[in-house]
Amino acid sequence: MLGPMPVNGDYAHEQLARRLGIDIVTCEPGLVIGTMPVTGNRQPIGILHGGANAAFAETLGSVAAFLYAGPGGNAVGIDLSCVHHRWVSSGTLHGTATPLAERRSMATYEISIRDGLGQRVCTARLTCAIRRPRPRSRTPHDPRREREHP
């Protein structure tokens, strides 16, 4: 599981969030919070890789969208933008995803990523397509369709 998201057992060992060390610590509608270590997620020069920031942000926002989609629904990211405000070379990052807009078929989240001192490292915006389960169609009762059974 990644927050409320079930992970297909065939791919459990291949999850990027696990490889990056992402941990979801709060997971409720309208608020998803997680952590990610800098260690293991660096560029060759020793600072946090911007792609790790992006993957962290998309993970938190996708979990928030999945919660919003509800039971039987699904969400998939369709647009991600990140602004990297400062570089980080050690410690643990703290990310918070909150909704900017949640509509029937689309939701957008702001993800704030901060370092251990509370300084903003990255601001991201993720938009997800939302698929909700289709309601079961009910056919109106038609007495002509009834058959007599012996």
What totals of helices (H) and strands (E) does the chain contain, helices first? 2, 6
Q: How far apart are CA 49 and CA 56, in angstroms?
A: 11
Residues 87 and 118 sit within 8 Å (Cβ to Cβ): no
Q: Exactly one of 58, 102, 110, 146 is catalytic; which is it? A: 58
Q: Give yes or no: 58 in active site.
A: yes
**What is the SS3 assignment for 100-122?**
EEECCCEEEEEEEEECCCCCEEE
Q: How far apart are CA 108 and CA 127, in angstroms?
A: 4
Q: Residue 138 has which token pair?
A: 């009910």
Q: How far apart are CA 9 and CA 129, in angstroms?
A: 24
Catalytic residues: 58
